[in-house]
Amino acid sequence: MSTLFNIGNKIVSSDTELTPLSFSPTLYVKPPQGDEEVGESGSLYTFNPANGFNFSVQRPSGDDSGKKYVLGKDGLIYEVPENTPAFEYNPDGSYKGILVEPSATNLILQSEDFSDTWSTQGAAVATNTTLAPDGETTADTLTGNGTNTNVHVQQAITFPSAGTYTFSFFAKAGTHDIIRVNIANYDFSTSNITGYELTNNGTTTIPSNPITAVGNGWYRIQFSFEVVSGDLSGQIRIFVPPSAGTTSWSNAADNNGKSVILWGAQLEKSPIATSYIPTEGNQVIRVADDISLTGASSLIGQKNTGGTLFVDVDWRLTTGTTQRLLSASDGTNNNRIQIFNDGGSVELRMLAQANGGSIEMNQGVLSSGFSGIQKFAFAYADADFELYRNGSSISTYTIGSLASLATLTDVNFGANFDGGDQANMWIRAVALYDRRLTNTELAKLTSL
């Protein structure tokens, strides 16, 4: 795989439309422009201030666990080295954001070789037949041989514990453009057997198990399910079926020569599929992203001035998991200002806590219906708190006091002060202001 980033200099470009720079931020991390280099190992460049307060990017490892794999501007999956920001793009080449994720483990032993540790029924696997999403000829072809009414490839898995898991992989039409996925012989609460059509933008028989077109005829399939305590051993299966709603062929001979192309299988304990983790015979861990800026008190709005946090994201909800989008703190939970999504209530919230006492303010709105690009701004001052989303106020609070708020020194990008509660979505831009922006300014700042 290729390397996505080159060592480079700070971003330099002009802004001709309304952006966070229009309101004089003390710090602004913006989307990359053109072909300028946007980061290097160990740092994330900021556009403003010009003297450079650059975020520390930590995803360290002594092996491959610090690497990430994301979609590049040319539609291919690239390797992002350890301690480097993972800028990702949409299949059309437009900017998606910096992908900030928690740690994850791929439980599939062979993610790209479906002839090793996998077994087949009514089918044969031909390896390395097709250009994969990373541009290498490592994708395999699964073809029915007309000997069985069921045509599938499977891998035996023993889950480490009960919980929500997601199986994902990349698929492309061969001589056939339909697949089905299920789990077998587990003690699970719902099987969610799902059919997918590998045409146009892709279709799925269960919307909560999505299919996403990633370019060059490839799709990423996601299949989530809940494993309950009991028998944790069984199989993950990918079928070549006659239709999206039917697993078995009426006549075995009818599936002879029917093929689909597969690559990049992944199974993780998560309600969603995270970035691809390659494996070659063993389970592999990808470590969490930790992006932070310390010694930044001069950039953060303090208790005597008030302040504003702004974050622009490409939204991805992970049900049941708290997601910290942007945080200013003293390096502890005692003094902090945050925009986050609460995993319990599934609410986008603004939070302020002063001097380790009771939380001065922690409220928001239901976020389960959010999707796509979302712009949030949290303006704070003593007894004056406002949360805006996409041009409108969604929460107001006029009681909490910041009188005992200690000096805020640290900024955390897509995570909590301790490097936990990763956003698990794409952060497109962030900005800090050392004053409480007016409601008119907040509306303009967050308008889509």
Please tell me whether residues 161 and 198 are part of one structural domain. Answer: yes
Among 286, 314, 341, the domain-final residue is 286
Of the candidates 63, 57, 65, 62, the residue with the CA atom closest to the CA atom of residue 103: 65
- Is this model's pTM higher than 0.85 or not? yes
- The H-or-E segment that residue 167 falls in is strand 163-173
The domain spanning residue 396 has which CATH number? 2.60.120.200
Please tell me whether residues 274 and 299 are part of one structural domain. Answer: no
Please tell me whether residues 303 and 277 are part of one structural domain. Answer: no
The single-letter DSSP state of residue 66 is T
Are 434 and 320 in contact, with CB atoms under 8 Å apart?
no
Find how far residue 41's CA is from the centre of its chain: 20
Q: How far is CA 61 from CA 43, 288, 292, in A?
A: 16, 11, 18
Are 198 and 121 in contact, with CB atoms under 8 Å apart?
no
Please tell me whether residues 156 and 238 are part of one structural domain. Answer: yes
What pLDDT is recorded for position 361? 85
* Residues whose CB falls within 8 Å of the CB of residue 207, separated by 6 or more in sequence, listed in order: none
Instruction: Report helix, strand or coil for 204.
Output: strand
* CA angle centred on 335, ends 351 and 446, rounded to 5°: 35
- The H-or-E segment that residue 444 falls in is helix 439-446
Please tell me whether residues 399 and 433 are part of one structural domain. Answer: yes
* Residue 214 to residue 90: CA distance in whole angstroms: 8
Q: Which domain holds residue 366?
A: 20-53+291-446
Domain annotation covers residue 90? no
CA torsion, ordered 264, 265, 267, 272, to nearest 10 deg: 60
Please tell me whether residues 281 and 301 are part of one structural domain. Answer: no
What pLDDT is recorded for position 31? 66
Domain annotation covers residue 345? yes
Please tell me whether residues 315 and 282 are part of one structural domain. Answer: no
Give me the tens of pLDDT residue by residue for the chain, a chain 448 residues long.
322 322 222 322 223 346 788 899 999 887 665 444 344 455 576 666 655 678 888 887 767 788 999 999 889 999 998 888 899 999 998 889 999 999 999 999 999 999 999 999 999 999 999 999 999 999 999 999 999 999 999 999 999 998 899 999 999 999 999 999 998 866 554 567 999 999 999 999 999 999 999 999 999 999 998 888 777 888 899 999 999 999 999 999 999 999 999 999 999 999 999 999 999 999 999 999 999 999 999 999 999 999 999 999 999 988 889 999 999 999 999 999 999 999 999 999 999 999 887 788 899 999 999 999 999 999 999 999 999 999 999 999 999 899 999 999 999 999 999 989 999 999 999 999 999 999 999 999 999 9
Provide φ and ψ at 440, rounded to 5°: -65, -45
Domain annotation covers residue 338? yes
Please tell me whether residues 27 and 45 are part of one structural domain. Answer: yes
Q: 3-state SS of the chain: helix, strand, coil percent to 5?
A: 5, 45, 50
Among 286, 301, 330, the domain-final residue is 286
Please tell me whether residues 349 and 376 are part of one structural domain. Answer: yes
What pLDDT is recorded for position 353? 93
Q: How many CA atoms lie within 13 A of 39 on its CB side?
A: 26
Domain annotation covers residue 2? no
What pLDDT is recorded for position 254? 97
- The H-or-E segment that residue 78 falls in is strand 77-80
Among 286, 316, 349, the domain-final residue is 286
